[in-house]
Amino acid sequence: MTKSQPSSRPANQPAREALSFSTDVKFVKGVGERIAVALKERGVHTVEDLLYHLPFRYEDRLHPQHLRDLKPGEMASVIGEVRGSALIRARSMPIFELTVGQGLDSVKGIWFRGTYLQGKFKPGQMIALYGKVEASRSRPGAYKMIQPQFEMLPDANATGEDAEFAALEVGRIVPVYQSLGGTTAWGAKLGSKWLRRVLWGLLQEIKEAPESLPAQLRERLGLPGRIEALREVHFPSEGTSLDDLTFARTPALRRLVFEELFYLELGLELKRRRMRERNGIAFSTTPQVREALKQVLPFHPTRAQKRVLGEIVTDMKSPQPMRRLLQGDVGSGKTIVALEAAIVAIENGYQAALMAPTEILATQHYLSARKLLTKAIKENGDRRYRITLLTGSLDNAEKKAARGKIFRGETELVIGTHALLEEKVDFDRLGLIVVDEQHRFGVQQRFALMKKPGAADPDVLVMTATPIPRTLALTMYGDLDVSVLDELPPGRTPIVTRRVEEQQAAKVWEFVRKQVAEGRQAYIVYPLIEGPNDDQPELDFAHDEPKEEEAPKKGSKKKTGELFKVKLKSATEMYEQLGAGPLKGLRLGLLHGRLDAAEKEVIMARFQRGEIDVLLSTTVIEVGVDVPNSTVMVIEHAERFGLAQMHQLRGRVGRGSAKSYCILLTGAKVSPEADQRLDAMVRSQNGFELAEIDLEQRGPGEFFGTRQSGLPEFRVASLLRDRETLELAKKEAASFATNAEGTEEEKETVRRLLKQHWQRHYGLVEA
């Protein structure tokens, strides 16, 4: 206990010996009432929460790196003494410089807008710096760190309690934590140094912990006990490998990673089993149904389509509700399969609903369904398939009429956007729900259709054209069965992909003109709607290192590079420039998200009829748009797009028999990460291969281009690093759910912990 943090525990509260994992954090030595408020703001409510606030990295302060061994481009942790500091009033911003030395060598720490650091350092003070090493331009052979993390080290002459805690700071591998200060007045104080002291004392008090894994399971997998693992993770024993800690290869970290993933997968497994116990609709496949399915297909199906339709129909025939994820690369024919599933439901006397994320895509599905089912109507004589489109842009009278048809059962296939979720929309007999590009919906919206009046456990088919790496599928959709369309229909031609620098743009526009002259059409896609005055994100490449004792956000990847501005072109700006210049005389169209639905529909219809030669657009055309005559996709500022997004855009061409092209037009400066993405696009057209690269680069949290992706917040596991452990956890969870090993007490503990923590820690998966 430090003098500045006296314990505030009243005399009538439990003694410290009685601390348990469920004890309120305010009773921990060194915390108290006021600091507990700050901790609870950051989700730390109990002793267990505090113990599971794990280090996000470690520093080797037993064998600190010498300055003469630093290498530019590498992350490094160094210890030295403060030699001097200065605040430089640069024209654009104040810059704080700190010189840290070891003997005759030194390194500079540089913080932009660093006024807050003035007066913080004293000459002779020992300090630890962590950051990316860069060569100094002004001093040949010298190094600097931009925005490094730092920590003051204890005085070597400290005595008493300070000397005891000094042993936690130097002469060992030291854990570094994300600050728990939040926005409170305690913010600056609740960093790594404070956490080390509090956690050290807490681990001395807690001698044992309630075990969360059965003993047989731990012994079989060679995993240490829970409290032993926590001690080793917070304060590694002498001789522990820094690399093993960094890559979570120590027995302690492996145990905590497995524990977290085991409970996630067990919850998903039990959820899947509960769903199988519910009463769904047992659809039948009579000769009439099979004949109707044959009439829908406009071509011979691929083997993959036959296989996937068989899996879906088998689910639909079961009396348990279907919960299936249909993955298919761009152009693999998912929509046809979904419409066939809808036919099964309709021919059994039920309604089907297809929900799309945008009005353009919903309209595209509506037109495709009408075209396909009209063919089926002609073949079946008097049989009619009644289809209704319901989107937000319809006027009130049209919406009211559509809702009436749905409620009275006068329509069998309903296609729409979020408008289907409105309270006023009630179904007569909803039997099948298809959710397209479902990761684009908010977490709580995804299965809101299932709760509609009259929707008693309908079958659900979730579709995505974004290939999902297996690790994400096991966490986001672990309670769903998965079908994969891994084969393109006949007639889909490979797309020639090239990357071209901006200075060669004239050749690109010349090529576009040539394609149009041959009767083809083209897309040109831009990252912005309007010019640079728009409030548009991510216009800089800049140094973006974590601040003091701040961990990188889980699932994110940091961008680093020289500080420079990028002026991005916009769709509206280039529509004018190209129309008056390189593409003068061609029929240009402009499409973006700010147009109302009617305008979008008119423009897309004109493009599909061949009345527009070149469509300039934002990424609003990323999914669903099908124009077989388009053979060229030009992506401007391609270095600004993610791999999955570029792959989706490329999928808009190559839909006819003519040779197609995707041109990645890049700016003058391309980051190493963007360079890797662009090369991958040129090299591969396999969406699943590209998805794995995209996941590695951007991390799970941004893989879909949205934070609200339904991913759980892991405390220790990493989907990129712990893939093998995730597979093991899934296997063990399925085994435990079938035939739980361990004593009755251990089984009850697992059930209780799952009930207490699963929704809290992995709640987003619930949707």
Q: Look at residue 162 in the predicted model and tell me its pLDDT.
A: 61
Answer yes or no: is 230 within a domain: yes
Same domain, 294 and 186: no
What's the pLDDT tens digit per position in 207-217? 778 899 999 99
**Are 767 and 710 contacting, i.e. CB atoms less than 8 angstroms apart?**
yes
- Name the H helices within 386-431: 396-408
Mean pLDDT on 327-350:
88
Cα distance between the two ends of the chain: 44
pLDDT at 767 over 90: no
Q: Look at residue 530 in the predicted model and tell me its pLDDT.
A: 65
Of these ranges, 184-188, 201-205, 478-482, 762-766, the one predicted with the greatest mean pLDDT is: 201-205
- Name the H helices within 206-283: 215-221, 226-234, 242-246, 251-277
List, in sequence order, every residue forming a beta bridge with 762; answer none if it has no partner: none
List the single range of 365-374, 452-461, 503-512 with lowest mean pLDDT. Answer: 452-461
Same domain, 222 and 335: no
List the single range of 515-524, 681-690, 691-700 with lowest mean pLDDT. Answer: 691-700
**Burial tier of 195 (Cβ tally within 10 Å: 0-12, 13-18, 19+):** buried
- Following CA atoms 399, 405, 408, 413 in sequence, which dihedral angle do they give, to the nearest 10 degrees? -120
**Are 57 and 176 contacting, i.e. CB atoms less than 8 angstroms apart?**
yes
Same domain, 153 and 259: no
pLDDT at 183 over 90: no
- Spell out the residues 6+ positions from residue 750 whose beta carbon is closer than 8 angstroms to its own: 212, 213, 214, 266, 736, 740, 742
Alpha carbon distance 746, 225 (integer Å): 14
Task: Give the pTM.
Answer: 0.71
Confidence of residue 549 (pLDDT cuts 50, 70, 90): very low
Token pair of 761, please?
Answer: 């820690």
Q: Look at residue 25 in the predicted model and tell me its pLDDT.
A: 92
Same domain, 512 and 485: no
Answer yes or no: is 694 within a domain: no
- Name the H helices within 211-250: 215-221, 226-234, 242-246
State the CATH number of the domain containing residue 283.
Answer: 3.40.50.300
Q: Look at residue 457 in the predicted model and tell me its pLDDT.
A: 83
Mean pLDDT on 544-571:
50
Q: What angle do CA 133, 138, 140 make, to 5 degrees?
A: 70
pLDDT at 2 over 70: no
Alpha carbon distance 27, 184 (integer Å): 19
Answer yes or no: is 318 within a domain: yes
List, in sequence order, every residue forming a beta bridge with 615; answer none if it has no partner: 523, 589
Q: Which among 684, 710, 737 is the end of a domain?
A: 684
The residue with greater pLDDT, 725 or 183, is 725
- Spell out the residues 6+ positions from residue 48 whose beta carbon is closer than 8 angstroms to its own: 21, 22
**Are 454 and 426 contacting, i.e. CB atoms less than 8 angstroms apart?**
yes
State the CATH number of the domain containing residue 140.
Answer: 2.40.50.140
Alpha carbon distance 358, 623 (integer Å): 9
Same domain, 484 and 616: no
Q: Order of strands across the sheet with 588-591?
A: 495-501, 660-666, 630-636, 521-525, 614-617, 588-591
Answer yes or no: is 2 within a domain: no
Q: Which amino acid is at 379?
A: E
The residue with greater pLDDT, 159 or 3, is 159
- Spell out the residues 6+ positions from residue 436 whose beta carbon is closer than 8 angstroms to its own: 334, 335, 338, 354, 355, 356, 357, 361, 365, 463, 464, 624
**Are 676 and 693 contacting, i.e. CB atoms less than 8 angstroms apart?**
yes
- What percent of the chain shows pLDDT beyond 70? 82
pLDDT at 547 over 80: no
The residue with greater pLDDT, 184 or 748, is 748
Same domain, 385 and 348: yes
Q: Look at residue 664 in the predicted model and tell me its pLDDT.
A: 96
Same domain, 485 and 508: no
CA-closest candidate to residue 19, choices 9, 6, 33, 4: 9
- Spell out the residues 6+ positions from residue 338 whose beta carbon is closer than 8 angstroms to its own: 326, 354, 434, 436, 461, 463
Same domain, 315 and 427: yes
List, in sequence order, every residue forming a beta bridge with 521; answer none if it has no partner: 630
The residue with greater pLDDT, 625 or 732, is 732
Same domain, 743 and 669: no
Alpha carbon distance 588, 614 (integer Å): 5
pLDDT at 469 over 80: no
Alpha carbon distance 335, 651 (integer Å): 14
CA-closest candidate to residue 535, choices 568, 563, 576, 562: 568
Locate the DSSP E strands across 16-171.
57-60, 75-89, 94-102, 105-112, 126-135, 143-146, 149-152
For the packed helices 643-650 and 687-698, what is the interaxial angle rounded to 10 degrees? 150
CA Rg, the chain, in Å? Answer: 30
Answer yes or no: is 704 within a domain: no
Alpha carbon distance 308, 334 (integer Å): 10
pLDDT at 635 over 90: yes
Answer yes or no: is 502 within a domain: yes
Alpha carbon distance 599, 591 (integer Å): 9
Mean pLDDT on 741-767:
73
Q: How far is CA 600 from the centre of its chain?
A: 29
- What percent of the chain shows pLDDT beyond 90? 30
- Residue 717, helix vs strand vs coil: coil
Same domain, 51 and 181: yes
Question: What is the average pLDDT score of the chain?
Answer: 81
Q: Which among 214, 247, 280 is the end of a domain?
A: 247
CA-closest candidate to residue 339, choices 305, 380, 307: 305
Alpha carbon distance 433, 456 (integer Å): 12
Q: Look at residue 156 in the predicted model and tell me its pLDDT.
A: 64
pLDDT at 690 over 80: yes
Phi first, then psi, for residue 588 (nearest 5°) are -100, 150
What's the pLDDT tens digit per position in 712-741? 678 888 888 888 999 999 999 989 988 877
Q: Look at residue 443 in the predicted model and tell me its pLDDT.
A: 42
What's the pLDDT tens digit per position in 639-662? 988 888 898 889 888 888 889 999
Q: Look at residue 633 in the predicted model and tell me its pLDDT.
A: 96
What's the pLDDT tens digit per position in 7-19? 444 445 444 457 8
Mean pLDDT on 62-71:
85
**Are 666 and 678 contacting, i.e. CB atoms less than 8 angstroms apart?**
yes
CA-closest candidate to residue 51, choices 31, 73, 68, 71: 31
Q: How far is CA 482 from the centre of its chain?
A: 19
How many Cβ atoms are within 10 Å of 553's Cβ, its own excluded? 14
Mean pLDDT on 461-489:
79
How many Cβ atoms are within 10 Å of 155's Cβ, its own excluded? 12
Confidence of residue 448 (pLDDT cuts 50, 70, 90): low
Same domain, 242 and 382: no
Q: Look at residue 449 in the predicted model and tell me its pLDDT.
A: 58
Token pair of 266, please?
Answer: 């067990």
What's the pLDDT tens digit per position in 294-305? 877 656 788 888
Mean pLDDT on 366-375:
79
Q: Which amino acid is at 248?
A: A
Same domain, 264 and 406: yes
Domain count, the chain: 4
Q: Which domain holds residue 89?
A: 63-157
- Spell out the residues 6+ positions from residue 160 whose beta carbon is closer than 8 angstroms to its own: none
Alpha carbon distance 354, 696 (integer Å): 32
Q: Which among 192, 219, 247 is the end of a domain?
A: 247
Alpha carbon distance 99, 83 (integer Å): 5
CA-closest candidate to residue 556, choices 371, 672, 701, 726: 701
Answer yes or no: is 6 within a domain: no
Half-sphere exposure of residue 448: CA atoms within 13 angstroms, side-chain side: 17
- Name the H helices within 586-686: 597-608, 643-650, 672-683
Answer yes or no: is 257 within a domain: yes
